[in-house]
Structure 1
């Protein structure tokens, strides 16, 4: 096992989890403020949904750049630069006086928010391997999983204390804290001797070799569609919580806390079982949990006359549990396919997932969020697509590749 220079593994785990958190915080903290922002800026429901989709679209596009930059220039300086941009973008959102200005700075937030998550995954694989890498990836996911549950609750509290702009000032403070912590605690884990050239021709070649790899496409699609089943409800949270479940603007915790509890439990199990259960077996268990969850959710949605908590959200706990079992395994497999371009591989995987999430938030969510049956049908289809790509990978992978997935490095 390699050790990160000048930093302990527990501290690095907490720091990387925090760096991964500020992206989801930027999405979820403003959910309770949608009505207030819409009233203040004269926007309708569809326009407010674009504050999420434009953020995710810019997040997805820039995710293609974060990884290669970190492969060429080092992990630390790229994370620090991204945090600086995010701080400035959050200030711009807080000062926005109209919807167009808010959307511009939301896009700028999206351009910078992915740096911690994408480059952080490469950092994990820089310093650890095998079961140790799976444990840290799962631990980071477990801590990071607090963000979607905590963010709308914090947003609701802040909205109760002041105007919606207070939420963006909170993001400024949070990102400044991360900037200082990164400066103090994060070493450079990608030495100069291992860095790649920034020549466009070389970068294009690296990306084309990753993108057109059938195995990469199967693994990335399996993770993206499987998570997309849950993200459909996350993107539809304002309509799901307020309009469908009939809860208040400060009661988003009824939806997010059970869901994220499942994700944290799944991450904990993944970390504890690393080296004890094969990766393939653990991923299969995860997909099985997701299948049972969407089936239960669909059944309840069809039979219930008026969806209520906790029954409408409990299946998502199991869904999140299954996703947390699957995701670290698929991510490590992708990173291990490209030992010299881990940042680029992480970027391409992130782009695949984020592009799908942007489509879900900008197209599927507005179309389906008017009815819980529509939402659960959409989630079921997305989960089945993820499982199909996973089974396809299991059938087509060579025995050597399969044995790599079942063995510790």
Structure 2
């Protein structure tokens, strides 16, 4: 199957369901709180538990997609996602809402883990990295527009309309996936292995001499980004005194650079390997963090010196994530679902844990936030520098 814009759009629309389910209902927190008679902090549990449910769904769905094929697992995940979105919309109390959100996250994990596996099934090496860059570029639209869309839906109706919309979006994407892609996939030979074998496949991935380095890069690299997202409001508004409009513009600048980096990365992949570009991107991120921390240490930073460095830190993720994922999956032609599940789940678990701890440790200090980002970036850089050229690395044995 050729790597086409249509394929990239379908994969991006599918992959965006996880982030979309996180961001689109954020404006409705006060309304949900009032409607269900609970505090907003309790409503936030529907978000934090969703993250961990998403990770668990990927862990279970990845090996199943290797065994039974991409289409059955992806379609099942879409069904769970749409059905539970409707049940969330009908929830009359917080307990039921949390329960259905966790199940929704589980289905979302099955959806999200299928996308990298499908890319790996249809593209390799530079081609896969270029496709991941294009998918990431398109995906930036979802989290950027989701809160605004949620506000619009909230203006048109009550908060349940948001989840009706999510279900309708899932059904539409599912129909397009079936007619444009899934029904044309070749049937995959089922490997009638015991469940224990599906679990030991994870051990096989972890014991690969190179793959674990890519997992570290992905998990810690995503953690740097999530630290920024978690504390962006405090840094820009609390520390530098920006108003809402200025904060939105500053935040959008970083998202915009991620898109630009994705475009540049696609062009550079015509000449350089994913691993070469990964090393450059991580090095650039580390350099920006070093400069930022030096300026803060000498109290010589201003918004206009801080902002470019922070934009680079966030923007480089547009090159780090697709190149790292493409290089990592190149080792697992037979276990791409399991490999995708492992790197995706650990990315959410590690970043979720780090950002949660950061809220307790940074204590309202911008220097502690940037220092934490630097300390996380250093092992990411060391792991990246130790990577061989992906093209000369040995493949993993078949499952």
Between 165-174 and 85-94, report the one with greater CA deviation. 165-174
Tell me, yes or no, if structure 1 residue 355 matches structure 2 residue 366. no
Equivalent pairs counted in the alignment come to 393
User: Does the 8 Å CA contact 1:79/1:116 hold for their aligned counterparts?
Assistant: yes
Instruction: Determine whether 1:106 maps to 2:109.
Output: no
Report matched runs for 1:307-326 at 5 Å. 314-326=308-320
**Cα gap change, 1:230 to 1:50, in 2 (>3 Å):** same
Deviation at 1:135, TM superposition (A): 1.4
Q: 2:196 and 2:77 mapped to 1: Cα distance?
A: 24
The change in CA–CA distance for 1:75 and 1:370 in structure 2 (over 3 A counts) is: same
Query: What is the CA RMSD across the aligned residues, in angstroms?
Result: 3.2
Match of 1:68 in 2: 63
Output one character per residue of 1:194-243: Cα deviation in whole Å (capped at 9) or x when no partner: 55335212212211111233422211111210121111233456766776
Q: Quickly say closer, same or farther: Cα 1:253–1:23, change in 2 above 3 A.
A: farther
**1:207/1:348 contact within 8 Å kept:** yes
* In structure 2, C-alpha distance between the alignment counterparts of 1:239 and 1:147, rounded to whole Å: 23
1:341 to 325, 335, 338: 335
Provide closer, same or farther for how the CA distance between residues 235 and 79 of structure 1 changes in structure 2, counting only shifts above 3 A.
farther
Q: Please state if 1:377 is matched with 2:358.
A: no
What secondary structure sits across from 1:277 in the alignment?
Answer: coil
Instruction: Select which of 254, 260, 266 maps to 1:271.
Output: 266
Of 318, 324, 335, the residue aligned with 1:330 is 324
Q: Distance in 2 between matches of 1:246 and 1:164?
A: 30
Q: 1:216 aligns with which of 207, 211, 215?
A: 211
Worse-matched range after superposition: 162-171 or 259-268: 162-171
* C-alpha spacing 1:223/1:158, structure 2 compared with 1 (3 Å): same
Work out whether 1:139 is the aligned partner of 2:134: yes
TM-score (norm 1): 0.84
Deviations 1:93-118 (A, max 9, x none): 22333332222222122111133332
Please point out which of 179, 183, 197 is paired with 1:184: 179
* Partners of 2:125 and 2:327 within 8 A in 1: no
Q: Is the 8 A contact 1:138 1:268 kept in 2?
A: yes
Query: Residues 50-100 of structure 1: CA distance to partner in whole angstroms, max 9, x if unpaired?
Result: 332211111111111222111111112211111111112222222333332
One of 44, 51, 57 as aligned partner of 1:56: 51
Structure 1 pair 190/338, CA: closer, same or farther in 2 (3 Å)? farther
DSSP-derived class of the 2:330 partner: helix
Give CA-to-partner distance per residue, 1:13-50, whole Å, 9 cap, x none.
11001001111111122333334434444444643443
**Alignment partners' CA distance in 2, 1:116 and 1:291:** 33
SS in 2 for 1:349: helix
Match of 2:124 in 1: 129
Distance in 2 between residues matched to 1:134 and 1:283, nearest whole Å? 11
Cα pair 1:20 1:114 within 8 Å, conserved: no
Which residue of 50, 71, 74 maps to 1:79? 74
Q: 1:26 aligns with which of 18, 21, 28?
A: 21
Runs of 5+ consecutive residues of structure 2 not aligned to the other structure: 395-399
Q: 2:165 and 2:233 mapped to 1: Cα distance?
A: 20
Change (3 A) 1:59 1:241: farther
Name whichever of 35-44 and 173-182 sits farther off: 35-44
> 1:297-312 to 2 correspondence within 5 Å?
298=293
Matches of 1:30 and 1:302, distance apart in 2: 38
Greater shift, 187-196 or 19-28, is seen at 187-196
2:56–2:109 Cα contact (<8 Å) kept: no
